[in-house]
Structures are given as C-alpha cells and as structure tokens.
Structure 1
Amino acid sequence: MMIDLKPEIKQALRSNPDLGSRLGKDKDGNVRVYPECSPDNTLPYVTFFELVNYDNKYVDNIPISSYIHFQVDIWTNGNTGPIAAAVNTTMESMDFVRSGSIDQFEPDTQTYHKVLRYKKIQFGS
C-alpha cells in the first residue's frame, strides 16, 4: 500500500492563514508552498518532499499502514522562526511529529534555509 500525502500537505500548508500572510502568493494566486521546488524562487517560500514511505503494519500479509517521513524547507532572506512555527502548527495538526530541524545559510544566494523533518504512521482506508 503506497499512501501519497503530498496533496494533503500542500493543501494544509496553503490553508494556514498565518503561513499565508508570511509567505504571500505567487503569480497564480497560490500561497508560496510547493512540492519539491519553487517555480520562480521568489522569497520567502516553502518546499516539501517525501523522504521515506514504506509499509509498516500488516494483517494477514496485507499492509494496513505506512511509515512516512517528510522534509519541509523554508527559504527566506530573514528570520525563519515565525514561518517555521506556522509550518510546525500545520504539520502537528496532521499528526506528524517533528523529528529534527536544522538552520542553514546559503552563502551563494544569501538565503536563510531551515530544514524541518516530520514523521508519522498513516493507516490506509
């Protein structure tokens, strides 16, 4: 069983009004949250991608749940803290548990980059 949570994560992050006010909208009117990469790199924005997804529990040799890890990246020219707090609120509301975070600075673009990692066990329908 392969569970795809990308559409739900994108919708949940884009629906967070605090996050939306901090990121703004792109030319298509969407809050700047993107799976994998940003189409235009206009700061600030958030990207996310799946790190791990494998069958976790079985009943009669049939998978009933998946262990899933996601990474959420914040890209900005300033403080990542308020955006990270809004992302964290959303991910926790989806029953993800934060498994780590790292602050980075990209010197070539002068961009602050915060990496947040989340995990959960998701049961199928």
Structure 2
Amino acid sequence: MSFDAKSELLKALKGNATLVSLCVGGFHNLKANDVTKFPRIVYSEIHNADDLFSDNSAIASEVRFQISIFNTEENISSQTAIAKEVDKTMKSIGYTRYDSIDLYEEDTKVFHKAMRYEKTFINGGM
C-alpha cells in the first residue's frame, strides 16, 4: 500500500481543535513518550492486509486501527467527550467503528477506552 494510513490518521487527530484541547497528553503511536500527562490518545495499526482482488492481484488494502483513550480518575468525565470527537474524526476520513470497550488498567490505575476502526484503501489512492 503506497498510501500512508498512519500519517492520515495523525493529521486528522491533530486537525481536530477540540480533540487537541481535550487531550493534553497528546497523540502517540504505540506508546506515550510522557506517561504522566492525561488524557492522551495512543493509536496502533492492528491490521493491514490485501483486500479486493482482481485477476489474482489485490486492488485494495484493509486497514484497522485501535484508538485508545487513557485517562485518570480525576478527569474521567472528559472520556465521553474525547470518544465522541475521536469517532467524528475517524468517520470524517472514511473509517467505520466496529468495536469499542471500556477498560480499567489495574496496574497503572488508568481508565482505558479502546475504539477500533476499519477502512478499505483502493491501491493508488483512497
């Protein structure tokens, strides 16, 4: 796939001014650089595979991301607002949400909302 899905995703997240203002811990790929700032978003590509075949050649790629919102107990009320902005942002760039779950990380005492999205990219474009 020549299209850079991670760059598109990060640009969209950073382009949402409301989301930027809500996530003082920033946006991170795979892991946060500063683990003391909350709330924050960590995104990871969880699937990237050939899709839609023609004459035994893939003409598209299916990409899936997990967007994780990490939040502390003190500011958990912002979790819903952040999730709504993430959903709006992901849908604006053509992703469909197929899963969402609320979790609590016992070891770090951090609330974690995991949201999963998928999109099919036609090879050579979007």
Where does residue 70 of structure 1 map in the other structure?
65
* CA–CA separation in structure 2 for the residues paired with 1:96 and 1:75: 21
Letter of the structure 1 residue corresponding to residue 18 of structure 2: D
Pair 1:21 & 2:21 matched: yes
Letter of the structure 1 residue corresponding to residue 98 of structure 2: S
* CA–CA separation in structure 1 for the residues paired with 2:2 and 2:57: 12
Q: Give the superposition deviation at 1:107.
A: 2.4
Where does residue 29 of structure 1 map in the other structure?
none
Q: Is there any run of 5+ residues in structure 1 with no aligned partner, and where?
A: 27-31
Letter of the structure 2 residue corresponding to residue 85 of structure 1: K
Q: Is there any run of 5+ residues in structure 2 with no aligned partner, and where?
A: none
Q: Give the superposition deviation at 1:7.
A: 0.9
The C-alpha deviation readout for 1:61-82, integer Å capped at 9, x for no partner, is 3321011111000001113111
* CA–CA separation in structure 2 for the residues paired with 1:61 and 1:104: 41
Q: Give the superposition deviation at 1:122.
A: 1.0
* CA–CA separation in structure 1 for the residues paired with 2:3 and 2:57: 14
Pair 1:49 & 2:26 matched: no
Secondary structure of the structure 2 residue equivalent to 1:91: helix
Aligned length: 119
The C-alpha deviation readout for 1:2-34, integer Å capped at 9, x for no partner, is 65301110111011011011013x6xxxxx011
Give the alignment's TM-score, normalised by structure 1: 0.87
Q: Structure 1 pair 50/35, CA: closer, same or farther in 2 (3 Å)? A: same
Letter of the structure 1 residue corresponding to residue 82 of structure 2: I
The equivalent position to 2:31 in structure 1, one of 26, 31, 37, is 37
Question: After the TM superposition, which segments of 4 or more aligned residues of structure 1 sit over 6 Å from their partners?
Answer: none
* CA–CA separation in structure 2 for the residues paired with 1:18 and 1:47: 17
CA RMSD, Structure 1 to Structure 2 (Å): 1.5
Q: How does 1:1-125 map to 2 (within 5 A)?
A: 1=1, 3-24=3-24, 32-41=26-35, 42-77=37-72, 78-79=76-77, 80-125=79-124
Identity rate of aligned residues, in percent? 33
Q: Give the superposition deviation at 1:111.
A: 1.0
